């Protein structure tokens, strides 16, 4: 009988939870943040790497010249004459909170529905990428949807309608290579964020006497200790959120961000370097994690029973001082209590040549089901166009707009000296290779499976077991090198270089 | 019979004179043991009940056993309204009724044929059912989904209903076990009276299986009522929400609040509790009767 | 004509006769169950076997035949099979669960006041949603820090007895015991009900006779109850062992397999769905199936010998 129960359990959770990490605490921004960086072999817009940095300081208005210059991109994006009246558009979304609980999505969409005389139906999925990937083994997966990260770039055309060519769309939008294959774009990121920073409570930090934002890992740990000394027993200086699993992936985001190198993945691949080299970015950030986690009095006492939901009001109220998170978390922390003004976002405590770096990354991309009716597809394009350009979604979520030159969210003031960059696309022939190695070796930089190296490292850190930490580093490097050297695409590409 | 004989042998050696004090001690121990077991079960649930009546701050700060200062029924209102629970209850009812009915008909018919007819074919079928019960079904999900879709049942309440009926091997096993305990002599006498097999099934076997049916009903009810995955995967539309998917929207990535989840858990439990209490008596009394009626 | 009639008659007779009836009833009664079984279990199972010889991802776009490679990987790379070690906790846990269930069932079947109340309470956790249970137990085992959350249920109880709080889920070794506890808490009610059902299916005459003879509780259990329900105990035991081999839900939801609580099935799911190696995951599922079949085989053998 027990077997049956367990089978039912397996059924009930297998695909549903498998991507989700820990139970209720599915992370909204993470899967997509990681998708970006993990697949940033296919990343974005080389030319305009720093263009966001200007805007970040000068929060200007939406009405800027770039917007007008690229208006033609919008005009040619869809053909309104093909859209018939009375259509129904099914949209799949991961934001169950906005479509089930608050119904805000439906409210925002009224404007669009009126304009095109159509009806938009939302379906929210708590375990989005898992459930939708399973649905995609049929033709029946909504009309407009967030493209799950499980879909390989080369398979995009089997599932999604082409939205335009890269060169054209790239004029107006960031991250156009995220869901691109053969210069055809299949998805437009519905929002972006800044990754590789830390959320912190400004009041606590300044009351503890830390006035300057730390620029090195040592300063950072020292600052945490200072907070501990000041508020012993009242404030947790650093909250690990270890039991969510996904929170550790934020550290990988930080690795990419602090490199300041939009080509970091390609560089590591082509130079045949190990993944974790002492003194280099991926190693440095993991070591920072180890150094924080091993100090049992600067993070929460029992990381296994941590509580992501509980941590939000706590950082808002100043009971938690710091958490590593993408900027997507800022709005959630601000909304979680009465002190939104206390929540700040700071760049990672690493300096390279006197400069701090941050990466702007994309969230899920919106794509159109290739099996939908023609008129519905056109309506879908209109919807995507409306969503990224006109809907209040991005500003409500305090996200970074995919539209070049749009206003940046206001919480980035600490980044005024920080240089932003967007990951560069992988050269042809190396597209998808990083992801393939990452996956086939089962290292899973962004995954949170039970045997994941980050989780084992953290567990070693909690026991202050540096030998195990080193052993895991070596094991990962070995697996990485073996898998890389067995990768056919990689070898083919390297052959062309020499 | 052998068992009986064993027992009758036993009676000559039984210690008839167990001292009364020992008996009383055993009685006390018995109750103490049961009470402790029940406390272990109840305490975590009490925590849920208390938690569901607290405010958010209270939930985070107060002792788990502390009674809520002012019971907050607003958590229940929130859980009920936003979670689409009413529609969930309605849909769950429909699915429950149809699939329970289906399982009982197909399950008893299968058990009857497989247990009573000693043919090669039925033996093979019985073996298949037993082996299939062992399959770890994790990896089968993708293919199961494709089949459901090909049948045109995707996002349709018929999909879970058919799956609940079609994959309940445990129910069949329970019926078979129960039939093992029902003497064949009844069937035989009915057949001597000229009854056909379907008639034997309908008039003799089915009524006798009543206690087993009650048991299966409870198991089935629990399984379906609490099943989150099938509903979530096969009928994602809000209009097809069942209780568990409706409640699960609270455990979503944003703004999940434990006191509201706890309220949701309680709401989810109440119908279970009511039906369980109603069915409980019939299960327990029927389990014994009907097994040996010669 | 007459031959026809005769044949018809024979056919009719055959149908009316009990052999014919048997066949027709068999076909009619089994038609729907077998169709459903084929659709939702057999076909997916066959596919699972096929997948285990392929390299394929979740969407199955371009599956590649790779022969036994998946199985070779499984048996050569220790990261896969080593995950069975945590099943030992559940294996011992299932013995405790069965023994406890049997004890409780026996007590409940004796003359006892509030029997139904006890039965109902003990059975109740089985009726609860798995996610709900996992949430409840995360609260139950929580080590509070006094800052973001209060002390969990178990530590609060310890405090009542003046004991220090324990980091239940962060202590290696202890965490698995906690999970086994949660598992027993959730599933024991069902075992109890099954045992009660089996015990009560023993003729009431036997009990009456035993009572007249003044058999005490233990004798009554050992000489009357146990022999009569031996087969169902054996069945439950085998199911429990198999359950231990394929344990999944409780550790997956409460700890996510972290802190060394992972199991083979969690590894299977991670392989198939996190690392998208559906082929390798299917091979793992097949290995689990084989293990379970072997356990069943051993059980069948032992059981036969005892008889």
C87 touches C248 (CB < 8 A): no
Residues from chain A that touch B155, judged by Cβ atoms under 8 A, are: 140
pLDDT for the residue A398: 85
Lowest pLDDT segment from A403-407, B6-10, C246-250: B6-10
Give the residue on C whose Cα is nearest the Cα of A233. Answer: C147
C-alpha span between B218 and B118 (Å, rounded): 30
**Higher pLDDT pick, C215 / A373:** A373
Nearest-CA distance C170 → chain A (Å): 5
CB-CB under 8 Å, B18 with C128: no
* Whether residue B139 has pLDDT greater than 60: no
Comparing CB atoms, the residue among B132, B181, B268 nearest residue C132 is B268
Site from A305, A323, A458 to mutate, C interface, most C CB atoms within 10 angstroms: A305
Comparing CB atoms, the residue among A15, A94, A100 nearest residue B141 is A15
Q: Does B127 touch chain C (CB under 8 A)?
A: no
pLDDT for the residue B237: 73
Confidence of residue B141 (pLDDT cuts 50, 70, 90): low
* HEC letters along chain C: CHHHHHHHHHHHHHHHCHHHHHHHHHHHHHHHHHHHHHHHHHHHHHHHHHHCCEECCCCCCCCEECCCHHHHHHHHCHHHHHHHHHHHHHHHHHHHHHHHHHHHHHHHHCCCCCHHHHHHHHHHHHHCCHHHHHHHHHHHCCCCCCCCCCCCHHHHHHHHCCCCCCCCCCCCCHHHHHHHHHHHHHHHHHHHHHHHHHHHCCCHHHHHHHHHHCCCHHHHHHHHHHHHHHHHHHHHHHHHHHHHHCCCHHHHHHCCCCCCCCCHHHHHHHHHHHCCCHHHHHHHHHHHHHHHHHHHHHHHHHHHHHC
The pLDDT tens digits of the residues spanning C156-192 come to 899 889 888 888 888 888 999 999 999 999 888 878 8
The residue behind tokens 């296994």 is A304
Average pLDDT of the segment spanning A369-379: 94
Give A308's contacts (C-beta < 8 A, 6+ positions apart).
A25, A27, A241, A244, A247
Lowest pLDDT segment from A142-146, A438-442, B98-102, C123-127: C123-127
Comparing CB atoms, the residue among B43, B60, B287 nearest residue C200 is B287
Give A430's contacts (C-beta < 8 A, 6+ positions apart).
A41, A266, A269, A270, A489, A490, A493
Lowest pLDDT segment from A410-424, A453-467, C192-206: C192-206
pLDDT for the residue B13: 46
CB-CB under 8 Å, A304 with C259: yes
Nearest-CA distance B60 → chain C (Å): 5
* Whether residue A58 has pLDDT greater than 50: no
C-alpha span between B251 and B245 (Å, rounded): 10
The pLDDT tens digits of the residues spanning B47-99 come to 889 988 988 778 777 788 888 888 888 888 887 777 677 788 889 999 999 99
Percent of all residues in chain B with a pLDDT value above 90, rounded to a whole number: 12
The pLDDT tens digits of the residues spanning A105-138 come to 999 999 999 999 999 999 888 778 777 887 887 8
Select from C299, C300, C295, C33 the least CA-distant residue to B176.
C33
* Whether residue A25 has pLDDT greater than 70: no
* Whether residue B33 has pLDDT greater than 90: yes
Structural domains of chain C, with CATH? 85-132+169-262 (1.10.3720.10)
pLDDT for the residue B120: 84
Three-state secondary-structure class, residue A74: helix
Chain C residues 107-146 with a CB less than 8 Å from chain A: 130-131, 134-135, 138, 141-143, 145-146
pLDDT for the residue A36: 34
The residue behind tokens 């097999």 is B197
Residues from chain C that touch A17, judged by Cβ atoms under 8 A, are: 252-253
Select from C131, C218, A35 the least CA-distant residue to B10.
C218
CB-CB under 8 Å, A100 with B233: no
Give the residue on B whose Cα is nearest the Cα of A313. Answer: B57
Confidence of residue A2 (pLDDT cuts 50, 70, 90): very low
* Whether residue A161 has pLDDT greater than 90: yes
* Whether residue B286 has pLDDT greater than 50: no
pLDDT for the residue B18: 65
Tokens of B62: 């107060």
* Whether residue A485 has pLDDT greater than 80: yes
CB-CB under 8 Å, C147 with A236: yes
Comparing CB atoms, the residue among B33, B45, B134 nearest residue C292 is B134
pLDDT for the residue A20: 31
Structural domains of chain B, with CATH? 2-72 (no CATH), 82-292 (1.10.3720.10)
CB-CB under 8 Å, A138 with B146: yes
Residues from chain C that touch B51, judged by Cβ atoms under 8 A, are: 139
Q: Does C178 touch chain A (CB under 8 A)?
A: no
Nearest-CA distance B167 → chain A (Å): 11
pLDDT for the residue B288: 36
How far is CA C102 from each of CA B171, B175, B280, rounded to the nearest angstrom? 22, 22, 20
Residues from chain B that touch A300, judged by Cβ atoms under 8 A, are: none
Contacts 24+ apart (CB under 8 A), B65-73: B65/C153, B65/C156, B72/B259
Q: Does C81 touch chain B (CB under 8 A)?
A: no
Nearest-CA distance C92 → chain A (Å): 14
CB-CB under 8 Å, C148 with A239: yes
* Whether residue A436 has pLDDT greater than 60: yes
* Whether residue A10 has pLDDT greater than 50: no
A178 touches A36 (CB < 8 A): yes
Q: What is the DSSP letter of A200?
A: E
Q: Does C93 touch chain A (CB under 8 A)?
A: no
Residues from chain A that touch B238, judged by Cβ atoms under 8 A, are: 100, 123-124
| Phi-psi domain of A233 (left: phi exceeds 0; alpha: psi -120 through 50; beta: other) | left
Lowest pLDDT segment from A215-229, A278-292, B174-188: B174-188
Q: Does C171 touch chain B (CB under 8 A)?
A: no
Confidence of residue A24 (pLDDT cuts 50, 70, 90): very low
Give the residue on B whose Cα is nearest the Cα of C277. Answer: B139
CB-CB under 8 Å, A442 with C255: no
Give the residue on B whose Cα is nearest the Cα of C213. Answer: B11
Average pLDDT of the segment spanning B37-56: 90
The pLDDT tens digits of the residues spanning A320-338 come to 999 999 888 898 899 888 9
Lowest pLDDT segment from A408-417, B225-234, C267-276: B225-234
Give the residue on B whose Cα is nearest the Cα of A309. Answer: B256
* pTM recorded for the entire structure: 0.77
The pLDDT tens digits of the residues spanning C217-259 come to 677 777 777 777 777 777 777 777 777 887 877 787 788 788 8
Confidence of residue B138 (pLDDT cuts 50, 70, 90): low
Q: Does B256 touch chain C (CB under 8 A)?
A: no
pLDDT for the residue B10: 44
* Whether residue A39 has pLDDT greater than 60: no
Select from A365, A379, A242, A358 the least CA-distant residue to A308.
A242
The pLDDT tens digits of the residues spanning A169-205 come to 998 998 898 898 888 999 999 998 898 899 999 999 9
* Whether residue C26 has pLDDT greater than 70: yes
Nearest-CA distance C247 → chain B (Å): 11
The pLDDT tens digits of the residues spanning C123-137 come to 888 877 776 787 788
pLDDT for the residue B256: 52
Average pLDDT of the segment spanning A406-424: 83
CB-CB under 8 Å, C118 with B110: no
Cα-to-chain-centroid distance, residue A187: 16
Residues from chain C that touch A245, judged by Cβ atoms under 8 A, are: 256, 258
The residue behind tokens 């900027």 is A327
**Higher pLDDT pick, B187 / C93:** C93
The pLDDT tens digits of the residues spanning A233-288 come to 889 999 998 877 788 989 999 999 999 998 999 999 999 999 999 999 999 999 99
In our burial notation (b when 16+ CB lie closer than 10 A, e otherwise), range B2-26 reads eeeeebeebbeebeeebeeeeeeeb
Q: Does A311 touch chain C (CB under 8 A)?
A: yes
């Amino acid at each position: 009988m027990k077997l049956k129960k367990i089978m039912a359990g397996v059924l009930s959770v297998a695909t549903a939870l498998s991507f989700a990490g820990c139970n209720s605490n599915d992370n909204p921004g993470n899967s997509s943040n990681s998708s970006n960086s993990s697949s940033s072999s296919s990343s974005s817009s080389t030319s305009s790497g720093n263009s966001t940095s200007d805007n970040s300081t000068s929060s200007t208005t939406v009405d800027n010249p770039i917007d007008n210059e690229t208006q033609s991109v919008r005009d040619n994006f869809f053909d309104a004459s093909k859209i018939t009246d009375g259509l129904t558009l099914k949209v799949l979304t991961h934001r169950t909170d906005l479509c089930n609980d608050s119904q805000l999505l439906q409210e925002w969409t009224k404007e669009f529905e009126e304009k095109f005389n159509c009806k938009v139906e939302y379906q929210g999925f708590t375990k989005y990428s898992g459930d939708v990937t399973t649905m995609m083994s049929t033709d029946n997966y909504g009309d407009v949807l967030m493209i799950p990260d499980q879909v390989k770039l080369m398979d995009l055309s089997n599932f999604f309608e082409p939205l335009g060519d890269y060169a054209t769309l790239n004029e107006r939008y960031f991250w156009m290579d995220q869901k691109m294959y053969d210069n055809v774009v299949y998805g437009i990121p519905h929002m972006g964020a800044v990754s590789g920073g830390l959320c912190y409570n400004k009041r606590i930090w300044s009351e503890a006497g830390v006035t300057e934002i730390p620029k090195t890992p040592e300063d950072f740990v020292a600052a945490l200790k200072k907070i501990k000394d000041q508020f012993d027993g009242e404030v947790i200086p650093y909250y690990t959120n270890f039991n969510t699993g996904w929170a550790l992936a934020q550290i990988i985001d930080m690795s990419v961000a602090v490199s300041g190198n939009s080509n970091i993945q390609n560089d590591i691949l082509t130079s045949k370097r190990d993944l974790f080299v002492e003194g280099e970015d991926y190693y440095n950030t993991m070591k920072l994690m180890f150094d924080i986690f091993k100090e049992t009095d600067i993070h929460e006492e029992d990381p296994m029973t941590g509580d992501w939901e509980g941590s939000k009001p706590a950082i808002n109220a100043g009971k938690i001082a710091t958490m590593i998170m993408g900027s997507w978390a800022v709005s959630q922390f601000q909304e979680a209590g009465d002190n939104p003004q206390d929540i700040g976002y700071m760049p990672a405590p690493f300096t390279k040549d006197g400069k701090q770096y941050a990466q702007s990354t994309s969230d899920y991309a919106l794509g159109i089901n290739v099996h939908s009716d023609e008129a519905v597809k056109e309506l879908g394009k209109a919807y995507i166009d409306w969503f990224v350009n006109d809907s209040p979604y991005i500003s409500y979520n305090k996200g970074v707009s995919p539209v070049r030159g749009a206003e940046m969210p206001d919480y980035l003031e600490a980044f005024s000296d920080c240089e932003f960059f967007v990951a560069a696309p992988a050269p042809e022939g190396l597209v998808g290779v990083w992801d393939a190695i990452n996956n086939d070796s089962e290292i899973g930089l962004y995954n949170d499976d039970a045997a994941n190296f980050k989780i084992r490292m953290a567990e070693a850190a909690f026991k202050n077991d540096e030998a195990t930490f080193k052993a895991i580093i070596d094991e990962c490097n070995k697996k990485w090198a073996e898998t890389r050297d067995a990768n056919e695409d990689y070898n083919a590409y390297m052959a062309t270089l020499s | 019979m052998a068992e009986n004989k064993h027992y009758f042998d036993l009676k000559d050696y039984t210690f008839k004179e167990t001292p009364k004090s020992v008996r009383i001690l055993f009685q006390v121990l018995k109750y103490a043991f049961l009470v402790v077991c029940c406390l272990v079960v109840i305490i975590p649930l009490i925590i849920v009940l208390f938690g569901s009546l607290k405010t958010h701050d209270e939930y985070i700060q107060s002792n788990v056993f502390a009674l809520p200062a002012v019971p907050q029924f607003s958590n229940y209102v929130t859980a009920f309204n936003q979670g689409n629970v009413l529609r969930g209850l309605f849909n769950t009812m429909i699915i429950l009724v149809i699939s329970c009915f289906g399982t009982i008909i197909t399950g008893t018919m299968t058990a009857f044929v497989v247990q009573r007819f000693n043919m090669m074919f039925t033996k093979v079928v019985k073996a298949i059912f037993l082996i299939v019960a062992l399959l770890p079904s994790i990896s089968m999900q993708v293919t199961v989904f494709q089949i459901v879709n090909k049948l045109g049942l995707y996002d349709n309440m018929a999909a879970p209903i058919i799956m609940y009926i079609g994959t309940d091997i445990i129910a069949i096993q329970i019926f078979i076990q129960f039939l093992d305990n029902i003497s064949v002599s009844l069937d035989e006498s009915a057949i001597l009276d000229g009854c056909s097999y379907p008639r034997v099934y309908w008039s003799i076997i089915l009524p006798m299986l009543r206690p087993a049916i009650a048991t299966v009903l409870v198991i089935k009810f629990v399984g379906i009522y609490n099943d989150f995955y099938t509903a979530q995967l096969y009928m994602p539309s809000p209009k097809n929400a069942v209780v568990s998917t409706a409640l699960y929207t609270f455990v979503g990535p944003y703004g999940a609040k434990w006191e509201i989840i706890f309220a949701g858990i309680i709401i989810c439990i109440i119908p279970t509790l009511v039906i369980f209490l109603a069915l409980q008596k019939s299960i327990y009394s029927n389990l014994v009767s009907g097994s040996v009626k010669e | 004509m007459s031959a026809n009639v005769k044949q018809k008659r024979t056919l009719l007779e055959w149908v009316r006769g009990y052999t014919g009836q048997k066949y027709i009833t068999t076909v009619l009664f089994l038609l729907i169950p077998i169709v459903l079984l084929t659709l939702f279990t057999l076909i997916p199972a066959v596919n699972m076997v096929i997948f285990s010889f392929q390299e394929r991802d979740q969407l199955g776009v371009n599956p590649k035949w790779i022969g036994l490679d998946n199985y070779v990987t499984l048996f050569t790379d220790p990261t896969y099979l080593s995950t069975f070690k945590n099943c030992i906790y559940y294996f011992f846990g299932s013995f405790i669960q069965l023994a406890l269930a049997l004890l409780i069932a026996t007590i409940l079947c004796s003359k006892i006041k509030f029997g139904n109340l006890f039965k109902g309470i003990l059975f109740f956790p089985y009726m609860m949603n798995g996610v709900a249970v996992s949430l409840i137990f995360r609260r139950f085992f929580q080590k509070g820090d006094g800052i973001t959350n209060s002390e969990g249920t178990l530590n609060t109880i310890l405090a009542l007895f003046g004991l220090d709080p324990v980091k239940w889920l962060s202590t290696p070794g202890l965490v698995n015991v906690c999970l086994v506890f949660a598992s027993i808490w959730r599933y024991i009610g069902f075992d109890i009900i099954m045992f009660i059902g089996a015990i009560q299916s023993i003729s009431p005459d036997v009990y009456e006779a035993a009572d007249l003879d003044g058999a005490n509780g233990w004798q009554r259990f050992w000489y009357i109850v146990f022999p009569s329900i031996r087969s169902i105990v054996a069945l439950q035991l085998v199911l429990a062992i198999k359950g231990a081999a394929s344990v999944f839900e409780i550790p997956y939801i409460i700890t996510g397999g972290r802190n060394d609580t992972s199991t083979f099935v969690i590894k299977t799911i991670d392989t198939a769905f996190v690392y998208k190696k559906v082929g390798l995951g299917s091979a793992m599922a097949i290995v689990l199936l084989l293990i379970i079949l072997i356990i069943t085989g051993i059980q069948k053998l032992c059981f036969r010998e005892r008889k």
